[in-house]
Structure formats: structure tokens, C-alpha cells
Amino acid sequence: MDRSAPDYYDTIGQRLYTAVLADVMDGLGFRSQVMRHDIRPMYPGARLVGRAATMLAADVEDIPAQPYELELTLLDDLRPGEVMVCSTQGSRRCALWGELLSTHARARGTRGAVLDALTRDLEAITAMRFPVFAVGCHAADAKGRAEVTEIRTTLDVGGVTVRDGDLVVADLDGCVVVPAHAEEEVVGRAFQKVSEENRVREILSRGASIRTVFREYGVL
């Protein structure tokens, strides 16, 4: 599959899902690629596919002389097809994301945000249908509470190591990260597994023994 094709991410989003990608990566030895269960879609039906643009934040006690400096640098550097992937290293003091950042990100061609952190402006984000996955909501702004310390770096998000440029897929079942160096093989095998699952589903719907079907197809 041509990763440079304009509809690459849409095709993955329409035909693949996190569970099948997780299964494929398990089979290839990548067994720690699913983020924690508490990183959830912030509105029903949210899903995203894109390439990670990473951002790490840390708690601060005072308002910096130039608040949001590194965050603004990354936001203005966003490229079409990317997904904001952010961590506050476990802090839950404030929201790291919101409506105006979503508006800017969408205008830049960004496909959503995944946060091991909190968001806000949930009503507006839901209305604009910008996919945000987070651990929850908080009304307090990050100014003077959290400041971005690193961008486009490797970080831990929801228990998964995420490198800038990795493929991120998120849906109702959760968020998975496909390492960039294994992406072609993982995506190719996932399409094949979906085809096999479709065949098995049709057989099971006719009342066949699931044990017999599993022995024959090895799909469950």
C-alpha cells in the first residue's frame, strides 16, 4: 500500500481497526503497542489515523516569561496527516488541549489528538467533530500549571513508547501505535487478517463449531 497516497490514512481508517492491528503486532513480537484503557474517545464515534507529532509537558509552579513557547512551535510546524500525541507524565492538574488548538490543528491538516492527559472545551470539540482521545476533562488552563518541555521526541504515552512519525490509530476500542519501521508489514498483514476474519465470521454465522473453525483458519 502506497504510504504517500493522499487517501492512505482514510483507507486504513475505513478498513482496519485497533484490535486487528494489535493482533498483528502481537504476532510480530510487538506486544506493548496498545495504550492504557483510560485514554478514551471524547465523543461517540471518534476515530483517527495519522502520524505522531509528539509533545511532552511537565508541571510548573509559575507562569513562564513566554508561556506555551515550545507548544506553539510544534503547533505551527504541524503537517497534514499528523496526529498530536501528548503526555503530561501522569499529571492531572489541568487541560493540555482545547477548542482553539483543535481549530488550528484541523486547519493544518492534523487528524486528531491523543493525550495521556486532560482536555477541555469538550462541547465545542464534539460539535466540530475533531477526534480527541484523552483520560478526561478539566476546566483549568495549562498556563502556569504545565509547560511543554520537549517536542518531536520519543516519549511514553499511556504505557507505549511513541516516536515522532509512528503511525497512530484510535477508535472505540482504544489507541495503538505502529512503529514506523514495521508499518508496511503490520498494515499489509492487517488487511490480510481482516479478509480472513470476514470469511470466518460468515462461517460462524451459519452455526459452525468455533473450535473447528479456529483449528482450520487459526483466526479468533
Q: What is the DSSP string of 182-219?
A: GHHHHHHHHHHHHHHHHHHHHHHTTT--HHHHHHHH--
Residue 198 pLDDT exceeds 80:
no
Q: Give residue 202's pLDDT.
A: 84
Predicted local confidence at residue 141, as pLDDT: 97
pLDDT (tens digit, 9 = 90+) per residue, 95-109? 999 999 999 999 999
Distance CA 21, CA 17 (A): 7
Whole-angstrom Cα distance, residue 31 to residue 105? Answer: 31
pLDDT at position 6 is 64
Q: What is the assigned CATH class of domain 8-179?
A: alpha beta
Average pLDDT, the chain: 95
pLDDT in tens, 135-148: 999 999 999 999 99
Task: Tell me the per-residue pLDDT of 165-191, one tens digit each, with 9 for 90 and over.
Answer: 999 999 999 999 999 999 999 999 999
- Give the separation between CA 163 and CA 203, rounded to whole angstroms: 40
Identify the DSSP state of 34.
Answer: B
Q: Which residue has the higher pLDDT, 2 or 131?
A: 131
The phi, psi pair for 9, rounded to 5°, reads -70, -40
Q: SS3 of 67, please?
A: coil
The confidence score (pLDDT) of residue 219 equals: 77
Choose among 99, 174, 162: nearest CA to 133: 174
- What percentage of the chain reaches a pLDDT higher than 90? 85
